[in-house]
Structure 1
Amino acid sequence: MKAIVCCLLAFWCYHDVNAQKNAPPGQTVKGSVTDVQSNAPLSGVTIVITSMTPQKGTAADHNGRFILTDIPVGRHTLKATLLGYEPVLISNFEVTAGKEVVLDITLKENVQKLNTVVVAAPSKNDPINELAQVSARQMNIEEGVRYAGTRNDPSRMAQNFAGVVGSNDASNDIIIRGNSPYGVLWRLEGIDIPNPNHFSSLSATGGPVSMLNSNTLKNSDFLTSAFPATYGNALAGVFDLRLRNGNRDKYEYLAQVGFNGFEGAAEGPISKKNGSSFLIDYRFSLIAVVQALGLKVGTGSNIPNYQDLNFKLDLPTQRSGTFSIIGLGGLSSINFKADPDNTDILYGANDRDRKYRSNTGILGLTHTYTFNAATYGRAFAAFSLAQNTADEKIIAEGKEPQQAADLDFKQLKYSAGYLLNHKFSASNQLTTSVSADLLQLNLHQRTIKKGDALISELVNTDQKAILYKASANWQHFFNDDITMNTGVYAQYFGLNNTYAVEPRWNMKFRLGNGHALTAGAGMHSQLQPLVVYFYEGKDANNKSWLPNKALDFTRSIHTVLGYDAMLGRHLHLKLETYYQHLYDVPVEITPSSFSMLNTGAVFGFSEQSDFVNKGIGRNYGVELTLEKYLQQGFYFLFTQSVFNSEYRGSDLIWRNTAFNTQYVTNFLIGKEWPLSSTFSIGADSKLSYAGGQWYTAYDVPATIDKGYIVYQNQDAFAQRNPAYFRWDLKLSFKWDQPRMTQKFFVDLQNLTFRKNLYMKDINVKTGEIKNVNQIGFFPNFNYQITF
C-alpha cells in the first residue's frame, strides 16, 4: 500500500509540473432547448455558463440549438432563461477533454404573466415527465455512476433510493415498497420492453448483469408509486429510460474494461448537413477472467458468459420530424455442474447438471413530429424477442443421466403505438396515447413433479395474444404554484377478454421558499406472468385443460402523500407516506399459503397450476430522503424506509411477503479533489443496512422421507434471515489530456467481509442444512478511455 501511495504522489508531482504545458484545449458544450409541454424548440433562450470568470454565454437559434466553445475541463454550472418561462439551472455537470457535452434542456412556461417572475429553483431530481408529481425522481446517470457498489448498473443505482431494496447481491432485482420485482415496468424510448438483463426469464424483471449501458443512457425517470396515466401494466414502479443521441458534429470513441465486460463504443455524424447521428456500444463478458482469479461474484464456481449490443440512430428530416432507430440485444449462458459434496451449490444442486440460456433482442423505430408550437405527436413500432432455455439432468453414480426438466420459452412481441400531446395554453395540456402488443408465445416445459418418477408436461402452447392499451391525461396549472393531473388508463387482454379501467390523479402545491406538498392516488393492474396462463391441468375426465387461462389482472389501489423542501440551494429533503391495497391476486383454489405476490422470491416458478383471483395484500410505510447535491466536489445521499408488506392466501391467514424486510437504510457520501487543472481523484462510500428477508422453513423429516425438498407451508414466511449489512468504498482517478480522457476506479465491495445470508440449503438425503452466503469481499476494477 505504501508503494502505491508513493507512486501516486510521484505521478502527481510530475503531472502537476507539466499540467500547464500539456493542458487540454477547451471543450464544447452544446445542446437544445424545448418547451416541456409542447416539445417545440425555443429560440432566443439565453444560455450562460455561470461557473466561469468571466461568464460565457450565447442564445439558442431558431431551432432551439446552442453551442459554447472553449469551456475548460472540470465541473460547471449553466443557466437557461427566457422571458415568460421558469429559469433552469444545471449544476456541476462534468466537462472532459475526451468528449463534447450535449445537454437537453426543457423550460416550463409561466402561468401568471408578470413582468418579473421570481421562481424558487426546483429540485434537480424533479422527473423529466412532468405528469409525475409524486413518488418519482430523475436519475442522473453521470452522478449514479459515481455511487459505490453499483457496477455501472442502472438497477443497482436505483436500489439506493428511498423505498427500494435489492433482493440479493447476485441479482439487480428492484423491490419497491415490498412489491414483487415482477411488478416493475421497463420502458425504453417510450417503448415497453422485456426484462433487459442477462440470464433473464419471462417471469422476472431482474438478473445478475444488466444489458443496459450507462455509457449510452441519458437522464431517466424512476417512479415508485401512483404513476400517471401514461404508464400501465405494472403494480410496483416504472423505470422510464432514455438513450442519448450520438454526437452530430464529430466522431468520438470509448474503450472500457470492468465488471460488465470488455467494451467498445463509437458515435458521430451520419450526415452533418441534416444533423443525423449514430451511437453504438458492444460488450463482452469479463466474468470468466474474474472467476479464473479465484474470486466469486455470486454464481459459485460456475462461469457465466454473456455479450450485449446497444445502438441508436437519430435521423432528423427537414419536413417530417425526427426518426430514431434503437436496438438492444444480449446473449447469455451458464452451466451448473452437479456438486455431490454439497460444497458450492449457489443456483445449482448436488445431484443435478443444469444448463441455462437466454437471448433478448429489442428493435424499435420512433417518429416524433411537431405539428405547431402547441402540438406534437410520437409514433413507435417495435419488435422484441425474449427466449429462455433450460436443461436439467439427474446425475447419480453408476446410472445414466436422467432428464429431470427441460424448458424452452420464447416470446415474440410486435408493438405499435401513438402519443399525441396538445398544449391548449400555459395552464392546460392534454396527453393521449394508444398502443397494442401482439404476443407470439411458444412455451414448452416438462418436469418431474415432486413425488413423481417420470417427467411430465407442465406447459405446451404455441399461441397468440393481444394486449391493447390506451390513456388520457389532463394537466392543469391553477397558477405557478398548484399543478394537478387527472387521467385514466385502460387495457384489454384478448387471450381471455379481461380488461381494466384505471383512474389516476396527482397534485403538487408549492408553498414558497422551496417547500411543496404532493398527493397522488390511482388504480393499477398487471397481467400475470404469461407462463401461468398456460399451465396444464387435468379435468374430471383426466383430459388436459388450462385452468388458469381465465385469470384476471392483479389489481391495486395506490395512495401517497409527500412533502418536499429545498433546505438550501443544494440540500433537498423529501418525506413520503403511502398505502397500497392489492386485490384479485391469484391464489390456489384449495386453501394454502401460496400467493402470486411472492413471485420472484426464488429462482424459477412453482408447480401449482390451479389459481383463482381471490388473494389480497397490503403495503404501507414512510420514507425519508436527505440529499446534498454535488457542490464543490462533495455530495451525500441518505435514505430511510420503514414499511410493512403482507399478504393473504386462500387459507385466509395474513403473512409477511417474501420481500417484507421492514426497513432499509442507505448512506452514500463522496468527494472529488482536483489536484490540478487536468487530474483529479475521488472517493465514494456506501453503507447499507436492511432487515432480513422472510422464508419458509424446510420440513426436514418429510424431505428425508420423500427424497425431495418439502417446506412447512402451513407456516410460510415465518422465519427470517439476519439483517443485511454492507460497506462499499470506491476510489477513482480522472486524467484529462489533449483530446482524451482516462478514468479508472476500484470499487471495494463488502469491505468488512460480512457473511450476509443468501439462503439455506438442505441435503435431501441427510437433512443437513447449510447456509449459502452472498458476495464476499469483491474488488471491482474499471478502466475507461474516451477520445
Structure 2
Amino acid sequence: MKKLITIIFFFAAAPFFAQTGIIRGTVTDKQSETTIPGATVTLSDVEGITAVTDEKGNFELKDVPVGRHTVSASFMGYENISLPEIEVTTGKDVILNISLQESFNKLEEVVISSERSKAKAINNMAAVSVRQFTTEEVSRYAGGRSDVARLASNFAGVSTADDSRNDIVVRGNSPTGLLWRLEGVPVPSPNHFSTLGTTGSPVSALNPNMLANSDFMTSAFPAEYGNALGGVFDLNLRKGNTQDYEFMAGLAAYPGAEFVAEGPLLRENGGSFLVAARYGIAGLLGLGGTSAQPNYSDLSFNINFGKTKLGTISAFGIYGQSDIDFLGDEIDEKDLFAAKDADSFVESGFYAFGLKHSIDIGSSSYLKTVLSTSSSRNTYDEDRYFNLDTPAEFKIRFTEADNTESRVTFSTLFNSKISSRLTLRTGVLLERFTLDAKQKDRDEQDDNDGDGLPDLVTQLDNNGSYTIAQPYAQAQVRLTEKLTLNAGLHGQYFSVNEQLVAEPRASLTYAFNPKSSLNVGYGLHHQNVAAPLLFLKENVNGTLLETNRDLDLVRSSHYVIGYDFRFAPKWRAKTEVYYQDIDKAAVERTPTSYSSLTEGADFTFSRDKTSLVSRGTGYNTGIELTVEKFFSQGYHALFTTSLFESKYKGSDGIERNSPFNNGYVINFLAGKEFAIGKAKQNVFSVNTKFTTAGGRYYSPVDLEASRAAGYEIRDERNAYSQQYDPYLRIDLRLGMKLNSKSKKTSHQFYVDFQNITNNTNVFTRDYNRLTQNVNQIDQIGFAPDFGYRFQF
C-alpha cells in the first residue's frame, strides 16, 4: 500500500504540459427522441469552441482543454440547456447525448434556459421517486466496488441487506420486489453467485464501463414498467466511439482484471462496437469475505450497426459465470457463508442477449422493438459430515439443487410527439418463461426410512413454461407551461393462475418557478410470488403436488408527494412522503406469523411453506430528504436520510415489523478534486462516505427446541421482535488521474479504505449445530481496495 501511494504522488509531481481532448455526441428532441440538425453546441467557458449539428444531429468539439467544462446547446423554438462539469481527459473522447425540450408556446426566440440535472429521469414520463445516475458516480464514490447496486444504496429510501450482498431494499420492500431492465427489457439478476428468485448477490456482473446514464425508480413508476412492487433499475448501454478506436485496461480488487475495447463499425452508417471483459481477483487477495476461493468472470457487448433507411439495429449482451467450493476442513469458524461440518459446491451463471431495432416514423415518432433471450442457472450441492472429528465420522449427500430459469422476451414500443404539449407512448411486453427447478434436501426432515438420518426429500421439481403479458399506454400532457400530467394504464396477465389485472398510474408536476416544483403520484402495481415459493412441492396422500400455483398476484398501491427546491446554484433539496399499501401476499392457512413479504434477502427461500393463501397484508410509509451539491468548483456532496416504517400481517392477524424495517438510514458523501501539475491538467481526488442505519429485525432462535431437533428453529410466535445493533460504516477513497502530455492516453489510480473504523457490524445471530449455542457472526471489518486504469 505504501508503495502504491508513493507511485501516485511521484506521477503527480512530474512535469506535464497542457493537452486537449474531444467532445462529440448527438442532439435530440426530448419528447420524440428524433435528432435535431442545425443545433448549436458551444463550450461555454472557452471562447471560440463551437459546432453545429449535421443532418444526423451529430456534433464534434475539438481541441478542448483537459479539465471540467460546461457545454451548452440551443436551437430555435427549443429551451436552451447547459451541461456543467463535463470532464475531459486525454485517454478517451467524451460522448454526450443532449436532449432539448421544445418551448411550450413555440417562441420565435428562446427565452427559457435550463441545466441538465440528475434529479430528472432519462425517461421523460417518470416524474416522481426517480433519480438519474451516471457511471462517473459509480466509480467516484468511496466503498462502491464498481457496483451500481451499491451506488443505489446511497439514494434516499434505499438500504442494502449487509456488506456481504448487494440486495436493494426500496422503502421497506423485499429485494424481490425490484425489477432489473436492460435496454428496455427485463433481465434476471445481473449478479454473480445469484440464486433462483433473488435479485442480488455478493458480486455484481454489471460492468459500469458499459453503461450510459440510467434511471433508478423507487415508487409509482410509469405504465411501461410492471411485475414489480419495490423499484426499477432501468439500465441503458452506451454506444462505442463512432470515430476512433479506444481501449482501457485495468486491475482492481473489485471488480478485478478488466479490458474494454470500442470503436467505429460501418462508418458510413455511424455504427460502433463496445466490448468489455472482466475476471475477478478478490479471492486471490483475501478480500472475498470468506476463506474459500470465489471465481467469477463476465463479458458484455453492445454492437450498433448504425442508422439506415430500415432503421437502427443493435445487438447487445451480457454473460457471467461464477463458482466457489466451501470445504469444511479449510473454513474459518467465523466464515460468513459456510460451516466446519459441511463441504458445499456452488456454481452459477446467467446471460442476456438481444436484438434492438428502432425506426423513425415521420418527423416526430418512432417504433422501438427488442427481441431477447436470457437465462439464469445455479447449482448447489452439499455433503454433510456426521460424528465430526471422531473415528465414526462419515459423510452423506445432504442437499442437491439445480435450478434454471430461461425466458424469451418480445417488447415493442411506439412513441409519438403529437405537439409540444402532448406525447403518447404505447407498447406491449411478452415474456415466455421456462423453468427447470429441482431441489432435494435433508434439512429439517424426519427419518421415515429408519436409517438414523433425515430423509432426502424432494422439495422442488418443476419442468414447465408460463407466460407473462404486459400491454400499456401512457401520455405526457403539458397542461400549462408550469403543470405537467403523466398518466397511463398498465395491464398484466399471468398464465400460471390465469389472472388479468389493470393498473392505473399517474403523476402531476407543478413548477412554481425554475427553482421549485411539487410532484404527486399514484400507482397500482402487481407482482407474482417468487418461483421458489410458487412451485414448491407438497406431499398430499403420497403424491407431490404444487399447492401454491393458484396464489394471486401480490397487489400494491403507491402514494407519493414530493417537493424539489434548487435553493442555490448547483444545490438541490428534495423531500418525499410516501405510503404503500400491500395485500394479497402469500400466508399460511393456519394462524402463523409467516408472509411472503419477509422473503428475499438471502440465497434461499422457505422450503416448507405449502398450501399458502393470498390473504397477507402489509404497508410501508416514510419521509425522505435529499440535499445534493452537484459537482462544481471542484467538489460535490450528497446527504440523504430516510425515516420509515415497514409492517406486515401473517395469517394470525398480528402486525409485526418486517425484516426490512430498519427505521432510519442516513448517508453522507462528499468529494473534492484538486487540479495539480504544471498546467493543472492532472487531478488528485478525495472522497468519503458515512452511512448509519437502524439494525434489521430478526426472529430469535428457540434454543431449547433447536437443541432437541439438532437444527435451527426460530421462535415464530415472536417473529421479527428483536433488532440487530445499528449499522455504521465510514469509507475513504484517494484517487489520481494523470493525462499524457503527448499521446491520447491517461492513467487513473485509487486506494479505497473501506470501513476505516473497523466497525464490527452484525451479520447474523444463528444457531450453531456444532456448539449447540447461538453464535454471532460479524460482517467484514476494515478492507482496503485499490485500482489502476490505463486508457489509450
TM-score by length of 2: 0.96
Question: Could you tell me which amino acid in structure 1 is paired with residue 378 of structure 2?
Answer: N
In structure 2, the partner of 1:108 is: 101
Tell me if structure 2 keeps the 8 A contact 1:704–1:766.
no
Greater CA drift, 524-533 or 250-259: 524-533
In structure 2, the partner of 1:703 is: 706
- The counterpart of 1:764, out of the listed 737, 754, 769, is 769
In structure 2, the partner of 1:547 is: 547
Offset from partner CA, 1:450-469 (integer Å, 9 cap, x none): 14211011111210111111
- The counterpart of 2:281, out of the listed 277, 286, 298, is 286
Offset from partner CA, 1:175-198 (integer Å, 9 cap, x none): 110000111100011011000000
Offset from partner CA, 1:653-678 (integer Å, 9 cap, x none): 11001110010000001000011333
Question: Could you tell me which amino acid in structure 1 is paired with residue 466 of structure 2?
Answer: A
1:673-712 paired onto structure 2 within 5 Å:
673-676=674-677, 677-712=680-715
In structure 2, the partner of 1:469 is: 470
Offset from partner CA, 1:351-394 (integer Å, 9 cap, x none): 22111111101100000101111210000100111101110111
Name the SS of the counterpart of 2:624 in structure 1: strand
Compute the displacement of 1:93 (Å): 1.3
Question: Could you tell me which amino acid in structure 1 is paired with residue 692 of structure 2?
Answer: Y
In structure 1, the partner of 2:515 is: 514
1:596-635 paired onto structure 2 within 5 Å:
596-607=596-607, 608-635=609-636
In structure 1, the partner of 2:288 is: 297
In structure 1, the partner of 2:303 is: 313
- The counterpart of 1:332, out of the listed 322, 334, 350, is 322
Compute the displacement of 1:55 (Å): 4.4
Offset from partner CA, 1:263-305 (integer Å, 9 cap, x none): 01111112222221110000011123212xxxx432x211211
Greater CA drift, 702-711 or 765-774: 765-774
In 1, distance between residues paired with 2:557 and 2:549?
24
Question: Could you tell me which amino acid in structure 2 is paired with residue 286 of structure 1?
Answer: I
Compute the displacement of 1:61 (Å): 1.4
Compute the displacement of 1:513 (Å): 3.9
Tell me if structure 2 keeps the 8 A contact 1:39–1:370.
no
In structure 2, the partner of 1:579 is: 579
Question: Could you tell me which amino acid in structure 1 is paired with residue 688 of structure 2?
Answer: S
Name the SS of the counterpart of 1:425 in structure 2: coil
Compute the displacement of 1:395 (Å): 1.1
In 2, distance between residues paired with 1:199 and 1:5?
33
The change in CA–CA distance for 1:714 and 1:568 in structure 2 (over 3 A counts) is same
Question: Could you tell me which amino acid in structure 2 is paired with residue 195 of structure 1?
Answer: S
Compute the displacement of 1:347 (Å): 1.5
* Gaps in structure 1 of 5+ consecutive residues: none
The change in CA–CA distance for 1:119 and 1:342 in structure 2 (over 3 A counts) is closer
In structure 2, the partner of 1:592 is: 592
In structure 2, the partner of 1:201 is: 195
The change in CA–CA distance for 1:265 and 1:513 in structure 2 (over 3 A counts) is closer
In structure 2, the partner of 1:263 is: 258
Compute the displacement of 1:119 (Å): 4.4
Question: Could you tell me which amino acid in structure 1 is paired with residue 659 of structure 2?
Answer: A
The change in CA–CA distance for 1:428 and 1:598 in structure 2 (over 3 A counts) is same
- The counterpart of 2:50, out of the listed 50, 53, 57, is 57
In 1, distance between residues paired with 2:745 and 2:332?
50
In structure 1, the partner of 2:637 is: 636
In structure 1, the partner of 2:358 is: 368
In structure 2, the partner of 1:142 is: 136
Tell me if structure 2 keeps the 8 A contact 1:538–1:544.
yes
Compute the displacement of 1:680 (Å): 1.5
The change in CA–CA distance for 1:441 and 1:451 in structure 2 (over 3 A counts) is closer
In 2, distance between residues paired with 1:9 and 1:308?
33
Compute the displacement of 1:39 (Å): 1.4
Tell me if structure 2 keeps the 8 A contact 1:121–1:514.
no
In 2, distance between residues paired with 1:301 and 1:533?
35
Greater CA drift, 593-602 or 168-177: 593-602
In structure 1, the partner of 2:16 is: 19
In 1, distance between residues paired with 2:336 and 2:118?
41
Question: Could you tell me which amino acid in structure 2 is paired with residue 153 of structure 1?
Answer: D
Compute the displacement of 1:553 (Å): 0.7
In 1, distance between residues paired with 2:744 and 2:335?
49
The change in CA–CA distance for 1:417 and 1:764 in structure 2 (over 3 A counts) is same
Question: Could you tell me which amino acid in structure 2 is paired with residue 269 of structure 1?
Answer: P
Greater CA drift, 682-691 or 88-97: 88-97
In 2, distance between residues paired with 1:425 and 1:347?
57
Greater CA drift, 392-401 or 303-312: 392-401
Offset from partner CA, 1:374-417 (integer Å, 9 cap, x none): 21000010011110111011112334321111011111211112
Tell me if structure 2 keeps the 8 A contact 1:419–1:433.
yes
The change in CA–CA distance for 1:657 and 1:9 in structure 2 (over 3 A counts) is closer
Question: Could you tell me which amino acid in structure 2 is paired with residue 275 of structure 1?
Answer: G
In structure 1, the partner of 2:239 is: 245
Residue 744 in structure 1 maps to residue 735 in structure 2: no
The change in CA–CA distance for 1:262 and 1:114 in structure 2 (over 3 A counts) is same
Tell me if structure 2 keeps the 8 A contact 1:707–1:765.
no
The change in CA–CA distance for 1:85 and 1:127 in structure 2 (over 3 A counts) is same
Compute the displacement of 1:609 (Å): 1.8
Tell me if structure 1 keeps the 8 A contact 2:81–2:114.
no
Tell me if structure 1 keeps the 8 A contact 2:291–2:331.
no
Tell me if structure 2 keeps the 8 A contact 1:47–1:78.
yes
Compute the displacement of 1:752 (Å): 0.3
Question: Could you tell me which amino acid in structure 2 is paired with residue 657 of structure 1?
Answer: S
Compute the displacement of 1:771 (Å): 1.4
In 2, distance between residues paired with 1:6 and 1:616?
58
In 1, distance between residues paired with 2:305 and 2:339?
51
In 2, distance between residues paired with 1:619 and 1:62?
50
Name the SS of the counterpart of 2:284 in structure 1: helix
In 1, distance between residues paired with 2:2 and 2:592?
61
In 2, distance between residues paired with 1:340 and 1:589?
44
In 1, distance between residues paired with 2:5 and 2:245?
37
Tell me if structure 2 keeps the 8 A contact 1:301–1:344.
no
Greater CA drift, 73-82 or 333-342: 333-342
Tell me if structure 1 keeps the 8 A contact 2:292–2:331.
no
1:388-427 paired onto structure 2 within 5 Å:
388-396=378-386, 397=388, 398-427=392-421
The change in CA–CA distance for 1:2 and 1:768 in structure 2 (over 3 A counts) is closer
Greater CA drift, 769-778 or 334-343: 334-343
In 2, distance between residues paired with 1:420 and 1:781?
45
* Gaps in structure 2 of 5+ consecutive residues: 447-453
In 1, distance between residues paired with 2:726 and 2:666?
11
Tell me if structure 2 keeps the 8 A contact 1:123–1:566.
no
In 2, distance between residues paired with 1:683 and 1:342?
35
Compute the displacement of 1:40 (Å): 1.1
Tell me if structure 2 keeps the 8 A contact 1:340–1:351.
no
In 2, distance between residues paired with 1:3 and 1:523?
56
Tell me if structure 2 keeps the 8 A contact 1:351–1:395.
yes
Question: Could you tell me which amino acid in structure 2 is paired with residue 42 of structure 1?
Answer: I
Name the SS of the counterpart of 1:172 in structure 2: strand
The change in CA–CA distance for 1:680 and 1:388 in structure 2 (over 3 A counts) is same
In 1, distance between residues paired with 2:564 and 2:763?
36
In structure 2, the partner of 1:347 is: 337
Tell me if structure 2 keeps the 8 A contact 1:170–1:208.
yes
The change in CA–CA distance for 1:9 and 1:179 in structure 2 (over 3 A counts) is closer
Greater CA drift, 382-391 or 120-129: 120-129
Residue 169 in structure 1 maps to residue 169 in structure 2: no
The change in CA–CA distance for 1:776 and 1:364 in structure 2 (over 3 A counts) is same
Number of corresponding residues = 774
Tell me if structure 2 keeps the 8 A contact 1:112–1:479.
no
Paired-residue identity, %: 38
Tell me if structure 2 keeps the 8 A contact 1:274–1:317.
yes
In structure 2, the partner of 1:90 is: 83
Question: Could you tell me which amino acid in structure 1 is paired with residue 773 of structure 2?
Answer: E
- The counterpart of 1:727, out of the listed 730, 751, 762, is 730
